[in-house]
A = this chain, B = another copy of it.
């Protein structure tokens, strides 16, 4: 029964081994003797399953995968040997005679809450820890063939949504009703149900349908367009604003398949768009076409940002690029994988040399205060000789 309900591939054993080896290599460079993995996403990456448990990775020995529950699922999904435990505190005594918990330990200190950190220091009887998340992020930056296959399937979910949106969006409809219909369409073709974003207070939805004023209001989120939402409690996402002629309807959706996230945006319109939006759309499109012409392994991400900004400046749209006023963000692209905010970031703030297997969303967008927003977002896989699109969904304005 278990097998018949499993529609996604399990992470292959060799894949898990390669990842663990990548982590150990990075640990050695930082003189980390052992790493403690607790966060859901990292656990999935290194074990192939997301259970209540902990993975301890010594620098020089096979890993210890302790599982509290579900043992049953862990056994089905993970190629690692599983050590059953009743309570996390049992781990201290199991490991105490193995000479593993010594020297500098690594923990995911960017996400691990303080009280849990204190608890683990006490369980392990050790208090010398550094943040291992930068190493994990660096490792996860390059996607394997297996991962890219999952990402392509995740992208197919978005392509389907963009097709359905053409049938669904009509003048006078509320953003949230379009959102409801599109999220249901995604789920019906096996969207995983939610998306993950790393970090404290990071929250997101699977879909954002926004247009006009509601697309111009910024939020606490570090994104160019977050939507007005339905209440001050969740000040993001689709709102009750209705679709009007001449103003772009922004459809920004996140695919999710076997953990892997994709994130693209298209513009829909009920009538010919106002000139300012057409201009913004055209510049977004030129930026995307330009990057597809030159970006490849070896290119610096800051150069991509600079070229995009060059086109924006030439069009005198700088004030509106990637937000307006307090809402302006300093990137035009972000990495994708098991989390929606992975590396690389396409920003002038830090240099990243593109490498085969990196995957990122690229989203030149313009926000015109009070008027509305326009832009395109596409996902790219970095190859030696260029960029490969994740989806084959056209990027034209879609008139409905």
List the interface of chain A (C-beta within 8 A of B). Answer: 1-2, 5-8, 10-11, 38-40, 44, 48-53, 69-73, 77, 107, 109-117, 131, 176-177, 179-181, 183-185, 187-188, 190-194, 196, 199-201, 203, 205, 213-214, 217-220, 228-235, 237-241, 256-260, 326-327, 338, 370
Contact = CB atoms under 8 A, between A and B. Distances in A.
Given A5-B213, A234-B256, 19 more contacts: A2-B217, A5-B228, A8-B231, A11-B232, A48-B232, A49-B232, A53-B220, A70-B219, A107-B114, A112-B114, A113-B114, A113-B200, A114-B117, A114-B131, A180-B187, A192-B233, A193-B234, A196-B203, A233-B260
Contact of A193 (B201, B230, B258, B327): B230
A73 B184 CA distance: 30
Nearest to A204: B194
Contacts of A11: 232
B200 A112 contact: yes
A318 to B, nearest CB: 19
B71 A326 contact: yes
A47 to B, nearest CB: 9
Q: Which of A10, A131, A230 has most B Cβ within 10 Å?
A: A230
Contacts of A219: 50-51, 69-70, 73
Contact of A114 (B109, B179, B258, B327): B109
B229 A193 contact: yes
19 contacts: A1-B213, A5-B213, A5-B239, A6-B232, A38-B200, A40-B201, A50-B232, A50-B234, A72-B217, A77-B235, A110-B113, A114-B117, A114-B131, A116-B200, A190-B230, A191-B230, A192-B234, A193-B234, A233-B338
Contacts of A193: 205, 229-230, 234, 237-238
Contacts of A190: 176, 230, 240
Q: Which of A185, A240, A338 has most B Cβ within 10 Å?
A: A240
